[in-house]
Chain A
Amino acid sequence: MAELSRLELARRNLRLVRILVGGGSVAAFAAFVVVARAAHPGTSHPASRSPATAPATPDDRQPGGLDFGNGAIGPSQGGFGGPQASSRGS
């Protein structure tokens, strides 16, 4: 009788695990579908911003590479006064 009880208990545990795993899989799959759908370029709606006010905000950038652009530096004789900022390394 004790053996049967242990066997029955093991069967119940197995059923419980199957239910939990099955339920978890269904929930995970459902979540994946919802998220993947929301993330798909065809259904996502990124906030639009003027390029003039958001030149490098990652949210606005399109995948496909980093645009280095052009550096706009020159000699210091510009008549701007003394040093206003420093670039001393990070």
Chain B
Amino acid sequence: MTATHAFRSMGCDVRMHGGDVDAAERLFAERDARFSRFLAGSELDRVNARAYGADLLSPDFAAMLRLSLDAAVATGSLVTPTVGAALLAAGYDRDFDQLPADAPGPVAPVRVPGPDALVLHGNLLFRAESVVLDLNGVVKGCTVDDALARSGADWVSAGGDLATRVPLLVEVPGGDLVSITAGGLATSSTARRQWRKDGQMQHHLIDPRTGRPARTRWVDVSVAAGSCVAADVAAKAALLLDADGPAWLDERGLPGRFVDGRGKVHVNDAWLAAVPLEAAA
């Protein structure tokens, strides 16, 4: 019987079923070391140390940045790699586990540069203005997809985002179960990574239109898509879009499940078509 393995990386629990565990752990460790905002000596740390001008990137970094720019295009710049300064201003300036219970100082809104402030040509990055990068919008989801492909596992999940090549049952927020047969399922949540700054609750999902943690009616948004990174990007965008999130997903044929601040579950038309209410109950 194939075992389910678990390990910790990128600040979350990673689980996988079957496959080459060492290959998956190695990939997660490599990506964490390269893309961590808080690890001194990471490539992201080096790139952000001088947040403008020209930089020569590693091929892996350039590819991930290209993917994040593609995500920005696909979401009308809602999911963008240019939110690093806004995250810092909100107080997310160290590993989540090390954040103080309530950091002093008010949260000042920060203008989030558009993705066109970044010009990526091959492995060369040009920034005409100061842009602090944060690639968390895509790194974890992409690494789940890549771990699935490279390890040969049946499925891989990391902190609520998963990719599979076999049918499996997945528990979504609120305790409901759905089946997924291929692709990815991801849940973005404002309730998972929360902290206080100046007495105000903050979370890690920055709305680039305001430069602050998003104010949205949704606490959890789960989306199924062709891959884990696609599901994760779509879930983030739908959460940021507030009331327009369900329709935005429907326009793209993506099933979405929303939990509001009172714990009530809403689903969009695509989710309802795939998971009829009586079956989801």
Contact = CB atoms under 8 A, between A and B. Distances in A.
A89 B222 CA distance: 8
Interface size class of B (residues with CB under 8 A): 35 or more
Contacts of B264: none
Interface centre among A61, A68, A77 (most CB of B within 10 A): A68
Interface centre among B15, B168, B170, B182 (most CB of A within 10 A): B170
Q: DSSP class of B's interface residues: helix, strand, loop or mixed?
A: mixed
Given A66-B73, A88-B160, A35 B252 contact: no
Interface in B121-167: 121-124, 138, 140, 142, 145-146, 148-150, 155, 157-164, 167
Contact of A84 (B160, B169, B275): B169
B178 A61 contact: no
B185 interface: yes
Nearest to B148: A55
A69 B141 CA distance: 14
A87 B226 contact: no
Contact of B234 (A54, A68, A73): A68
Interface centre among A44, A54, A56, A87 (most CB of B within 10 A): A87
B123 A76 contact: no
A59 B233 CA distance: 18
Interface in A39-90: 39-41, 44, 53-59, 61, 63-78, 80-90
Contacts of A40: 122
B226 A68 contact: yes
Interface size class of A (residues with CB under 8 A): 35 or more
B157 A87 contact: yes
Nearest to B161: A90
B228 A56 contact: yes
A59 B234 contact: no
A28 to B, nearest CB: 9
B171 interface: yes
B169 A83 contact: yes
Contacts of A55: 145, 148-149, 226-227
B227 A69 contact: yes
Contacts of B80: none
A72 B59 contact: no
A59 B157 CA distance: 21
Nearest to B230: A68
Given A35-B122, A35-B124, A88-B187, A74 B178 contact: yes
Interface stretch (B44-52, B63-71, B86-94, B111-119): B63-71
A26 interface: no
B254 A66 contact: no
A36 interface: yes
Given A56-B229, A58-B67, 11 more contacts: A36-B122, A56-B163, A69-B225, A69-B226, A69-B227, A70-B225, A78-B167, A85-B169, A88-B220, A89-B187, A90-B158
23 contacts: A35-B123, A38-B122, A39-B122, A39-B124, A44-B122, A59-B59, A61-B63, A65-B73, A65-B74, A66-B70, A68-B226, A68-B230, A71-B231, A72-B183, A73-B178, A74-B274, A83-B171, A85-B15, A87-B173, A87-B222, A88-B189, A90-B161, A90-B188
